Amino acid sequence: MSVSKLKNLLLAALLLINALFIIIIIIDSSEDARIERQAIDLVCALLEDAGITIDPERIRPSGELRAMRTSRVHEAVAQIALAALGPADMVDHGVILTYDSPENGVAEFSCGGDFEIRLNDGVITNTRGARQAAQRLLQDMDI
């Protein structure tokens, strides 16, 4: 067998191997896309069972995960406490911020966004009805 025929045979074998690798990569990529789509559908169904609806098209395709954090906006929390209690002492317990005004009440803000305000009797409603007082408070709190 001549050298040129041997080279041609070797090149044909290498081309065939490369074609097989390309086919394997395409099959693997389509399988990954199918599994990812299925995972998105399952997550959406799970969230929907919990009462949360989400558009599956808004979920970004796989890739590097980004770390996302939430944090309180201390100025907004302080504004809400000031509107409800007036001047108050703030104590940071880490997870919970507590604003305490002995004459007006206590406000507690959790890091998850929940808050509870307990007003002393007659603090807000002594000059107005409860409805007007609540409206004024929400407006002052920028809610």
**What's the domain range around 15?**
3-58
* Residue 69 maps to a domain: no
What is the total count of domains within the chain? 2
DSSP 80-116: HHHHHHSS-EEEE-SSEEEEEETTTEEEEEETTS-EE
68, part of any domain = no
* Same domain as 50, residue 87: no
Residue 84 and residue 112 in one domain: yes
Same domain, 83 and 133: yes
User: For 104-124, how does the pLDDT look when each residue is reduced to its tens digit (9 = 90+)?
Assistant: 889 998 877 788 888 887 766
pLDDT of residue 138: 76
pTM metric for this prediction: 0.45
Token readout for 142 is: 């920028």
Helix, strand, or coil (residue 20): helix
33 and 84 co-located in one domain: no
Q: Do 53 and 95 have their domain in common? A: no
- Dihedral class, residue 125 (left if φ above 0, else alpha if ψ from -120 to 50, else beta): alpha
Q: Which residue has the higher pLDDT, 72 or 108?
A: 108
Does the residue 96 lie in any domain?
A: yes
Q: Are residues 7 and 54 in the same domain?
A: yes
Whether 72 shows a pLDDT value over 90: the answer reads: no
Helix, coil or strand: residue 14: helix
65 in a structural domain: no
Q: Cα-flanking dihedrals φ and ψ of residue 96, to 5°?
A: -125, 135
Residues 50, 7 share a domain: yes
In a domain, 82, yes or no: yes
Side-chain half-sphere exposure of 132, counting CA atoms within 13 A: 5
